[in-house]
Amino acid sequence: MTTSFLRVAHRGGSRLAPENTLAAFRNALTLPVDAIEMDVHMSRDGFPVVIHDNTVERLTNGEGNILDLDLASLRSLNAAAHFPGGWPIEEQIPTLREVLDLTQGRVQVLIEIKTSLRDGVEGRYPNIAEAVVNELRATSMLELAIIISFDWQVLPIVKALEPTLATGALVSDSLWNPLAEHAIDTLIEQIKPLGCEWISLDHKLYTPDIPTLLHAQDLRLGLWTVNTLERLQYFAAAGVDALTTDRPDFFSQVWVDD
């Protein structure tokens, strides 16, 4: 029995510890994972910070848009303030460098480059690709990183900065309709020019033919966010290349028969 797929802790395993905090990432490192996934925004003063939302209300005891908050303000907040069931100590919003320092040489990292958002209008943080690449270089993590994004056009920018970096296009139902005619062919035609190695798909969009079709085009398939043991086992047996879950503790019970 083997685990031939990449086992990814989503936001460090957000059902087990406050998401995207060092507490979550430390916990993930005690579990059978190959990679941790995190989300990166930019503080107002230009620091890459690890948090999912464009605003801080859902996760912290503060308020405001990441666009308006400098690093010191973000660091003053408790990122565990609303963890279900409570959390015994306060947790800071970490910088990307802190997470890379923690994981350096221990696991792979999936770094989702997020878009900014104000008044319903999406944008791209200035120099966010450069900042992420620079931090990976500084921590010698280039070979252990996969850069993913729903902002597909940032991925060729990453490749231009560092051609050795693996990249992946995130795909949701707002970007792709699997029921459309020639749906998978259309998706491949859109993704291939970006230079990606990965397509990271909402698991609800999965159909059994997708792994074979993507592998024939030298593309690897990741699925998110799979949170039941039954579905993790099903997708592992189906030949998926990576599975992302909020419950990385389940991976100890997931395998592929030799």
Burial 212-244 (b: 16+ CB within 10 A, else e): eebeeeebbbbbbbbbebebbbebbebbbbbbb
Bridge partners of 109, per DSSP, are 36, 145
The one-letter amino acid at 83: F
- CA distances, 147 to each of 5, 219, 243, 247 (Å): 18, 15, 16, 22
Neighbours of 90 (CB within 10 A): 14
Residue 249 in contact with residue 9, Cβ under 8 Å?
Answer: no
- CA distances, 165 to each of 72, 86, 104, 241 (Å): 30, 38, 16, 18
Catalytic center residues: 10, 52
